[in-house]
Amino acid sequence: MSTTTASQTALAPDRVRSSRRRWWREVGWRYIVGVLAIAYAGFPILYIISASVSDGGTLTGSTTLFSTFSTDNFTALGDTRFWTWAVNTLVIGTVTAIATVLMGAAAAYSFSRFRFKGRRLGLTSLLVIQMFPQVLAFVAVFLLLISLGEVVPLLGLNSRVALIMVYLGGALGVNTFLMYGFFNTIPGELDEAAKIDGATHAQIFWTIILRLVAPILAVVALLSFVGTFSDFLLAKLILQSEKNWTLAVGLYQWVSDQLSANWGLFAAGAVISAIPVVALFIFLQKYIVSGLTAGSVKG
């Protein structure tokens, strides 16, 4: 018995070392990569926050983070049109996100549940169209809005409604495919059971399906809002007056001139601009990570 105990004691350090090597080989290196990724992504954020509370008004005037602390840049935002741009951006982003979700969900539900002539051609067309970025058509969009503005000023240049319509014009591509794949995971038996109870397709769509596909709706809404919130090219092309600008256009104007660029004001505006996106992500996170379709056919 003593010999066996002695041999087990001698093998214990070898087992510990082997276990540690295995842990580092399978798991440990991931922590190192994660820390490096967080540092790589977090440093620009710390740098822009440091610039926003600096009284130098420049990104290169300080060699250390948070060497000075001042709220003058945030206070100075009140003397600009920043808050008007913020309201414009929130309105445009919210309306676009809601309309994108509704349009994409309706299209995905139709392609997933119905069999009609041209269905395969429609799916193929959406797949091909989404391969081309919307910005490729900005010249055509500009000319089209000039013509529309002569007939319907609300849909012409310098109109926020026109900008929303342009965003929605390219909303069905990838969003429909994302939703289409998720809709296909919802069992058709749910639709059949609802039809037996006398439900119409509209009732099934609004009261049953949309609740089960809430995770993908949250993802599409978040992607649409973030894409619209940060868009510069189309917003700059369509919105021409300063009062109608979005945050991306307005913040760019502060630093577009190298001789008069105010990076402190820009940094303060960028910090505040990030709050709605972060808040929306936190709010939708529980819907994104939750599997609402699990067990939907049980019982």
Q: Write the pLDDT tens digit of every residue in 155-178.
A: 888 899 999 999 988 777 778 888
Under 8 Å CB-to-CB from 280, ≥6 apart: which residues?
222, 225
Using an 8 Å Cβ cutoff, are 164 and 96 in contact?
Answer: yes
Class of residue 120 by CB neighbours under 10 A (exposed 0-12, middle 13-18, buried 19+): exposed
pLDDT, residue 182, reads 84
**C-alpha span between 292 and 25 (Å, rounded):** 35
H or E, element range at 128: helix 119-129
Q: How confident is the model at residue 63 (pLDDT cuts 50, 70, 90)?
A: low
pLDDT value at residue 200: 84
Domain 81-289 is classified in which CATH homologous superfamily? MetI-like (1.10.3720.10)
Instruction: Return all residues near 246 (Cβ < 8 A) that are at least 6 apart.
Output: 85, 88, 89, 92, 229, 231, 235, 239
How far apart are alpha carbons 119 and 176 in whole angstroms? 13
Q: What is the largest CA-CA distance in the chain?
A: 99
Question: Quick one: pLDDT band at residue 141, thresholds 50, 70, 90?
Answer: confident
Res. 59: pLDDT tops 70: no
Start-to-end CA span in the chain (Å): 58
pLDDT digits (tens, 9 = 90+) for 264-298: 888 899 999 999 999 988 888 777 765 443 333 44
Average pLDDT for residues 133-157, to the nearest whole number? 85
CB neighbourhood size of 13 (10 A): 9
Q: How confident is the model at residue 7 (pLDDT cuts 50, 70, 90)?
A: low
The ranges assigned to domains in the chain are: 17-72, 81-289
Q: Quick one: what percent of the chain has pLDDT higher than 70? A: 87
Give the model's pLDDT for residue 292: 41
Residue 246 pLDDT level (bands cut at 50, 70, 90): very high
| Confidence check: pLDDT of 299 > 50 | no
pLDDT at 89 over 90: yes
Which whole number is the average pLDDT over 18-31?
Answer: 78
Report pLDDT for 96. Answer: 94
Q: 253 by DSSP, 3-state: which? A: helix
| Average pLDDT of the chain to the nearest whole number | 82
